[in-house]
Amino acid sequence: MSYILVSKKKWNVENFKKLNKKIFYTKKINQNIIKKIKPKIIFFLHWSKKIEKNIYSKNLCIQFHCSNLPSFRGGSPIQNQILNGVKKTKLTAFKMNDKIDAGEICLKKNLSLNGKASCIYERIEQTAINMISIIIKKKNIKFIKQKGKVKYCKRRKEEESNLLSLNHLTVKNVYDFIRMLDATDYPEAFLNLQKYKIFFKNAKFNKNKINGEFKIIKK
């Protein structure tokens, strides 16, 4: 049996090559790729685009979402959970359908939200590898309807990376804000200072003090 892993994030490629020679990695999915590989399952990780109905209706498509579904459906789940004080969550594997993050669930695994965003995404990657290994070994995959209170979150915009967008400024909140945006391809936390823009990353929190790196760019 062959499988496809679809992910737009470049940090996935090397690790998923190690997973299984029958799992093919791609940054996009279409009917030509499906006809060529004839996958048993198409997996989606770090994926936010809409999929054509004829793909998920004719193929078993399993997506990974970084929250304990049905809580925190929608965009930027890691950042939105951290902003809401969540420290531990789940990586949820579910069957894709015509609604956002609303499909039946086949597997959940614990996920820590400690550390900066890049470390969290590496953790997600390793957890997803383990979950895919478990799923493809199952003869019959059982899917269960989502239960619990549904909570949606919106995808964050670049201007929301401004530190002054925080509703409650404390040293710990500033630290969490900087670290949750500290990953490749994400807009770093910043402050505007007259004609300059200051970006922050690699924050370390210790005894109500933050150490880290910053860069100043003229607008």
Q: What is the CATH number of the domain that holds 175?
A: 3.10.25.20
**What per-residue confidence (pLDDT) applies to 169?**
87
Confidence band of 15 (pLDDT split at 50, 70, 90):
low
Compute how many other C-beta atoms are within 10 angstroms of the C-beta atom of residue 108. Answer: 17
Expressed in percent and rounded to 5, the helix, strand and coil fractions of the chain are: 30, 30, 40
Using pLDDT thresholds of 50, 70 and 90, give the confidence band for residue 81.
Answer: very high
- Looking at the fold, whether 140 and 200 belong to one and the same domain comes out as no
Has residue 16 got a pLDDT over 70? no
Task: Please check whether residues 39 and 137 belong to one and the same domain.
Answer: yes
- Give the tens place of pLDDT for each residue, 162-210: 999 998 889 999 999 999 999 988 899 999 999 999 999 999 998 889 9
pLDDT given at position 170:
93
In the predicted model, is pLDDT for residue 14 greater than 70? no
pLDDT mean across residues, the chain? 92
Give the pLDDT score at 27: 87
pLDDT of the residue at 12: 57
Residues 37-43 have a mean pLDDT of 95
Maximum Cα interatomic distance, the chain, rounded to a whole number of Å: 61
Instruction: Indicate whether 17 pLDDT > 60.
Output: yes
Q: What is the mean pLDDT of residues 92-96?
A: 97
In the structure, what pLDDT confidence band is assigned to residue 102 with cuts at 50, 70 and 90?
A: very high
Of 153, 173, 202, the one marking the end of a domain is 153
Q: Are residues 148 and 165 in the same domain?
A: no
Last residue of a domain, one of 153, 183, 209: 153
Q: Do residue 14 and residue 109 come from a single domain?
A: yes
pLDDT value, residue 184: 85
Kindly state whether residues 162 and 96 are assigned to the same domain.
no
Same domain, 99 and 193: no
For residue 64, the model assigns a pLDDT of 97
d(CA 3, CA 14): 16
At 46 the pLDDT is 86
Specify the number of domains making up the chain.
2
Among 133, 153, 173, identify where a domain stops.
153
Domain co-membership, 94 together with 144? yes
Go through 119-135 and write b for each residue having 16 or more CB atoms within 10 A of its CB, e for each that does not. ebbebbbebbbebbeeb
Verify that 96 and 204 share a domain, yes or no.
no
Above 60 in pLDDT, residue 106?
yes
Q: Which residue has the tokens 């579904």?
A: 69
Same domain, 105 and 210: no
Domain containing 169 equals 158-218
In this predicted structure, the answer to whether residue 38 has a pLDDT above a threshold of 60 is: yes
What is each CA distance from 154 to 26, 38, 56, 176, in whole angstroms?
A: 26, 34, 23, 19
Co-location of 131 and 118 in the same domain: yes
CATH assignment of the domain containing 92: 3.40.50.170
